[in-house]
Structure 1
């Protein structure tokens, strides 16, 4: 369809009168638009455009979301074209209207070649009328303004080409030609833009959608709560009285506002968790648009050029008031604990009655069902009524249905890549509904790390929730302290201060982890009473074990068994963390955890506890610091688990390695020297590099310094490395987290022993570590190239960053050390000082030192 006909449609949408439309069709109906047509049409189009834009109360009103949105977007197109015609009308050209019309009258008398060239120039003007789209919530207004400028500049350039065919051009003086070039080529875009911006600002003052799309709203009033979203949208649309069945669903979703901000199980008597309505703060966020199949919003690099914003209510309102909302879903990404599900509950409760929100927790519906079945299933779970979607959507009348699909990542984790085309299914559902006259907007939430499995289409808007800043942490703490002031006073507990929270900022930046810190400190100010300079490993030890003991007490664990049972739970959680590490993943399913625990021969029987569905569920399901993703598949519920913060898992990895090393060095010396059994340690460390999870190594170094066993650990690790080739495959044969060759597993285990060696000693001569079966340079090169050949790219890069080496003075030896930049002794990202460099550099140097003049070595 030619753009001119779409412009005519825009006039019709805004209520242009029949005579005006007929004249417009006459002017534009031939399929060509030359400069002569601008002469004939511009005055009429200027009058018509200004008339329609001035009647904004008529075309903006109306109850139907789709027609209202289309009319508002049509108004933007008319504004762009009208501003152009007004600028053309203001040009000072050395031609009369008759001169311009003469081109049309005499074109037939031109030679075919000259006439074809003139017609081509006319078509250039026509091609220039591809009007840029409306401002959009995911793009800064400055970028849209640049598109408008480019549009006007391109049209001005094309008009200059047409003007060269006007009678009298050849008679112009050079001054006359310069005047035209200045007027059309340079002045016209600026004049048109100034008129456009002036008209846009006027419309933004009258039509809130224009202000929202261009991010011209005042955000301060809507930052405190998403109640601001309700106020913004309620001001745009008239309220509705919903049918009984829809009102029941709305009341159910609104009840969530009075519920606790998180499900944490029992809390001490007198303590109260803030409600969702009290504690929720709109998150900071970034927003972008998928422009090609190469775009990957799960990558940090994709977000670098997208600014952090604080106007979430206005942004969401802008997204829901554009016609694109009925074609493609809005994607909301975030880390575990960032508040994605909380946001969906707020939206389900806060959208005004001009919208009809339906919250669909994807963990509670069948993963294999189609979108319509999932909606109907969610409504049944919420209200107890079995309602068919088409009838429900029709009963909503003119209200726009907004489907909130919470937990796309849970479908992926629980069912695998079979749901990677789920977003395509959602778009096809939207297309079907729009064709049936039931336009529906969709919001989909997912964890950022899992979204790489998705297949978003181009033009999809994606937003990512950002961590709390200092101001948000402080505002949240004020709510927390006010809610529990009587509890604190009664027990003599001090309020949780901002300074204390910022001392553990990595955790406090995530809303759910901030709550975890607050709960921990509320127990006799445990966090505040910690010794100054408390290491992160010590904090995690106290934090995690306190929550584990709290859960055990709820299960009526005998007091005299509490410490032992807590230690057992922590060790199991360490095995779970290894399930994730060894699968190169941040999550694991309950089936995978159960298989691993069985293969590792871990006894899961717990006296006094009812038998859970699986060992994996028993290990994971009851801890607040673990995120559970679940999806219904056929008759089963498939569960996957992830730590709320990746460093929790990395601490538990380090803690389990520490426990295994401590247990091995605690054996009687005769057993240790004669029958050293490293099967469990070898099984865990033969599938992935510890260096790929650098915080785990840093935690291990801290744990080594905290205890008195570092020297004994180091001696054990050296012995294990030296006897690597003296043993056959001694790991546990049934533990297979993934497919890997014997050479690969040998490479991983030996590399991890190297990491353990430099973690438990300040420096390690290579001669003290290697088996000594060949001369040292040859043996070192064999291990070096073995690791390089077996590790995937990032693992190899991580190993190079973790361990540094330098030639030993006056000796054919190497000194190996843990990179001080990683251990925190130097600023991260800087090269270590004192002559220590990356492993590759000093491998080459070392070879050169032992083979003078041999460049090939």
Structure 2
């Protein structure tokens, strides 16, 4: 579907010659309308003698309502699109007619203005991603342009020359009033039109005043008001039944919760999310970056946005991409959307991409979804042909899960969908596509030009309270104030449910939350769910046995988290978890017995037990099942990593206490295995959890142990363990392990001096440079941003953990690094350039330093570097004029850069120009620039020189 229509195209779509009103209009214009020859000369003649044209345009809009029932959803959208184009032009020429001024055209005049044809302009269409005011501003600009074109046409006529000054001014004013009045008339006509067609309100982003309802019920209400009254076929009725059934489904399976807890149904508990939306995206925009959304307003009218988008022409030209964090409700959103769209107008196909066969085409993914839903093989083409006028809406849920299950990069996935939509539209079978994904996997994803990108926002306080109102109506009340103390959990729907389930057993959360650290809360929360899983078996356990089993269950979960952390990924494959469990905990997968089914692997066993561990699977063509897993919220994994590290450290402490005196040190192979693959400084939450776990522990004893391991770091290892999440050289592992030992020492002590770490200044320099040489750049950046090192007169130096928020920018890493490595020369240079860098940034500072060290006769490359540096404009201009006429190649300087704009310090500019003049510079150029400069307030010596130059050049100076 075209994004915009002209007036001529619109009237053709609305009925052409068959429509009685259009036929009457065409007859009135002598056949010019449908012949496409309605030019400006006809317009100017028209409103002098034929105001009936305006009346007929209004009749066309009024009689459109007689055809709004019994047509397909796509046809209705086309009609509304075309009707809006007619409305836009009708408003303008009604306003034109109200001015009642006559313009007479001679035959020569008609030839002069015939080239301009406003009836063929592509007229703007309101967009649901813009506010009502922005849409009106767009129309106002159009009307201003139309009035300007008419004025230019009129001023070239013979009748214009016949007018006196007063008459000409009156005509100008009348055309000016036309643009303003057209915008007013457009609003009036639009209000009348929206009364007949409710979706128009949502195209222009106007709240409909409907009583507040939730769970996207208002979307259903709105779309039922706009229904085309088509009867859905059997398949659509069956699909609607499946989708409506999801509304009655409890949020989690009853078997996963205590018996006396009532779980609300989806329709009861679903809270419409807040969201942001961006349209007309360009290639440079990166939706995966949080900073890209900083200036995008947050909205809370999701139903209105969806009503406007799904009934707009743009919906069938590019996919709608819905982004969110894990646990933010992306999948539930598609379920709600499918349940709320009327089957008479929308044929919804919801496809879970995590379950689609790997490597299949887009069309095959849709057909797999249809087979899953309808339990029969249905081709996409057959489905489209039997929708009976309902517009197909394909919801592809979990693009990120498709990526992680297949391991194949698909940066052109949305482009492929847009091309598929175009082919469908060309065939007369248009379709809407909605794709959901996690934000973090969208880096590099190509976005078609018409794509709308929606980001689902975390819950705010009001939404948390709304959700708890539903929960508390059926269960023991959980106060919102208690929950809101933990925004990381409360702001995500699934994690909020976890808190509610945890508290529902015995109100432990409410009773203890004031004295719980975040780490303690996470520990109890996960232990409660682990205990439920352990006690599902009928084994007779003592209290000690139960505690041991729960601890082991949490250890297995921790290995899952460590598998992600040490591999630097957000999800992990089942086979990797199975291997890690065997290497770290000695948990082997059971062997298959003859005559039995293949037993679950160790990875499947642990990962399939918790609903907050999300599984994604895909089936290859060879029927191999690929499974990957991730936590619904990254914080679970971060806590479990900290927990596992802390447990290994405390276990090593117990071993050290039991160490025979004849042994110099305790075997730290297990701790080395865990801490030699990823730097702890790469995750702030992990460090925060470690600090909380350290509270109340034997800090001094643990610190002494860590310092001891650091002291012996360079010894030859007899074993590096069997744990190998990925291959690294021994030197890289040694670097990461020694770094993590320093970090653990700082977690335990807060601030450490050189003697406590048994490191002299030279030892520290060698150690930090060793880290820099062996760590990946991103991990070294984390070290620079976290470690704060200071020289100390008595104890050489101190080091602590102190994240420098200001220096998070990549360009400041170079400035901060000398303070970590204690590089005296670099520190001195840093101190020297810090004032410049603070004012101008690193790039400009580096260019300035290079320029200052360059003789004036060789300064062109350095000036060029300053000219190209971001933010260096004002600095460059000043340095240019400071060097102009000082002995360099002025001719080449001016040839390359011209004479830049002036700066605030006009004296620098004038003095540079005078030096240029005195050295025989370009007279014409100097004359032009000096004549435009004000010399008021110059130093007396400069003023004298300026007067002398002005006399020579024949320039009148400004005072």
Which TM bucket (shorter chain)?
A: 0.7 to 0.9
Which digits, 9 at most, give the CA deviation of each residue in 1:355-414, with x for residues without a partner? 222222222221322233333322332332223332233222111222222111110111
Matched residue, 1:14: 14
User: 699, 707, 715: which is aligned to 1:726?
Assistant: 715
Q: Does the 8 A contact of 1:137 with 1:315 survive in 2?
A: yes
| Larger radius of gyration between Structure 1 and Structure 2 | 2
Which digits, 9 at most, give the CA deviation of each residue in 1:735-757, with x for residues without a partner? 143x6555544443333222222
- What CA distance in whole angstroms lies between the structure 2 residues aligned with 1:76 and 1:168? 34
After the TM superposition, which residues 458-497 of structure 1 pair with which residues of structure 2 at under 5 Å, given as runs? Answer: 458-484=449-475, 494-497=476-479
Q: Does the 8 A contact of 1:805 with 1:815 survive in 2?
A: yes
- What CA distance in whole angstroms lies between the structure 2 residues aligned with 1:600 and 1:545? 20
3-state SS in 1 of match to 2:695: helix
3-state SS in 2 of match to 1:198: helix
Change in Cα spacing, 1:172 to 1:846, as seen in structure 2 (3 Å) is farther
Change in Cα spacing, 1:531 to 1:23, as seen in structure 2 (3 Å) is closer
Q: Which has the higher mean CA deviation after the structures are superposed, 270-279 or 743-752?
A: 743-752
Matched residue, 2:211: 221
User: 664, 674, 692: which is aligned to 1:684?
Assistant: 674
Matched residue, 1:623: 610
Q: Would you say 1:64 and 2:54 are equivalent positions?
A: no
Q: Does the 8 A contact of 1:287 with 1:461 survive in 2?
A: yes
Q: Does the 8 A contact of 1:36 with 1:103 survive in 2?
A: no
Q: Which runs of 5+ in 2 are unaligned?
A: 809-813, 835-959
Matched residue, 2:84: 76
Q: Would you say 1:292 and 2:282 are equivalent positions?
A: yes
- What CA distance in whole angstroms lies between the structure 2 residues aligned with 1:627 and 1:413? 12
Matched residue, 2:631: 643
Matched residue, 1:110: none
User: 439, 451, 455: which is aligned to 2:430?
Assistant: 439
User: 333, 342, 359: which is aligned to 1:343?
Assistant: 333
Q: Does the 8 A contact of 1:284 with 1:468 survive in 2?
A: yes
Post-superposition offset of 1:520:
0.4
Which digits, 9 at most, give the CA deviation of each residue in 1:811-852, with x for residues without a partner? 362211122x79xxxxx8799xxxxx9954745887269989
How many corresponding residue pairs? 812
Post-superposition offset of 1:460:
0.7
Q: Would you say 1:574 and 2:558 are equivalent positions?
A: yes
Change in Cα spacing, 1:421 to 1:264, as seen in structure 2 (3 Å) is farther
- What CA distance in whole angstroms lies between the structure 1 residues aligned with 2:686 and 2:201? 48
After the TM superposition, which residues 233-244 of structure 1 pair with which residues of structure 2 at under 5 Å, given as runs? Answer: 233-244=223-234
- What CA distance in whole angstroms lies between the structure 2 residues aligned with 1:852 and 1:495? 62
User: 45, 49, 60: which is aligned to 1:52?
Assistant: 60
Q: Does the 8 A contact of 1:219 with 1:311 survive in 2?
A: no
Matched residue, 1:713: 702
Post-superposition offset of 1:182:
4.2
Matched residue, 1:201: 191
Q: Which has the higher mean CA deviation after the structures are superposed, 68-77 or 139-148?
A: 139-148
User: 501, 512, 518: which is aligned to 1:519?
Assistant: 501
Q: Would you say 1:656 and 2:644 are equivalent positions?
A: yes
Matched residue, 1:258: 248
Matched residue, 2:940: none
- What CA distance in whole angstroms lies between the structure 1 residues aligned with 2:211 and 2:403? 38
User: 806, 814, 836: which is aligned to 2:797?
Assistant: 814
Matched residue, 2:577: 593
3-state SS in 2 of match to 1:74: helix
- What CA distance in whole angstroms lies between the structure 2 residues aligned with 1:852 and 1:268? 65
Q: Which runs of 5+ in 1 are unaligned?
A: 108-117, 485-493, 823-827, 832-836
Matched residue, 2:841: none
Change in Cα spacing, 1:27 to 1:794, as seen in structure 2 (3 Å) is farther
- What CA distance in whole angstroms lies between the structure 1 residues aligned with 2:464 and 2:649? 39
Q: Does the 8 A contact of 1:8 with 1:21 survive in 2?
A: no
Matched residue, 1:142: 133
Change in Cα spacing, 1:238 to 1:92, as seen in structure 2 (3 Å) is closer
Post-superposition offset of 1:696:
0.7
Q: When the two structures are superposed, what TM-score results if normalisation uses the length of structure 1?
A: 0.86
- What CA distance in whole angstroms lies between the structure 2 residues aligned with 1:338 and 1:853? 44
- What CA distance in whole angstroms lies between the structure 2 residues aligned with 1:3 and 1:64? 19
Change in Cα spacing, 1:399 to 1:681, as seen in structure 2 (3 Å) is same
Change in Cα spacing, 1:528 to 1:227, as seen in structure 2 (3 Å) is same
Q: When the two structures are superposed, what TM-score results if normalisation uses the length of structure 2?
A: 0.78
Change in Cα spacing, 1:31 to 1:849, as seen in structure 2 (3 Å) is closer
3-state SS in 2 of match to 1:696: helix
Matched residue, 1:768: 756
Matched residue, 1:847: 824
Q: Would you say 1:40 and 2:45 are equivalent positions?
A: yes
- What CA distance in whole angstroms lies between the structure 2 residues aligned with 1:181 and 1:802? 67
Which digits, 9 at most, give the CA deviation of each residue in 1:456-515, with x for residues without a partner? 31111121211222222222222222223xxxxxxxxx4212122112222112111111
3-state SS in 2 of match to 1:585: coil
Which digits, 9 at most, give the CA deviation of each residue in 1:619-662, with x for residues without a partner? 32211222222223331332222212211111111111101111
Q: Which has the higher mean CA deviation after the structures are superposed, 694-703 or 681-690?
A: 681-690
Q: Does the 8 A contact of 2:230 with 2:388 survive in 1?
A: no
Q: Does the 8 A contact of 2:576 with 2:725 survive in 1?
A: no
Post-superposition offset of 1:275:
1.3
- What CA distance in whole angstroms lies between the structure 1 residues aligned with 2:55 and 2:310? 32
Larger relative CO (CA 8 A, sep 6+): 1 or 2? 1
3-state SS in 2 of match to 1:522: helix
- What CA distance in whole angstroms lies between the structure 1 residues aligned with 2:7 and 2:828? 78
Post-superposition offset of 1:243:
2.8
After the TM superposition, which residues 781-820 of structure 1 pair with which residues of structure 2 at under 5 Å, given as runs? Answer: 781-788=765-772, 794-808=778-792, 810-811=793-794, 813-819=796-802
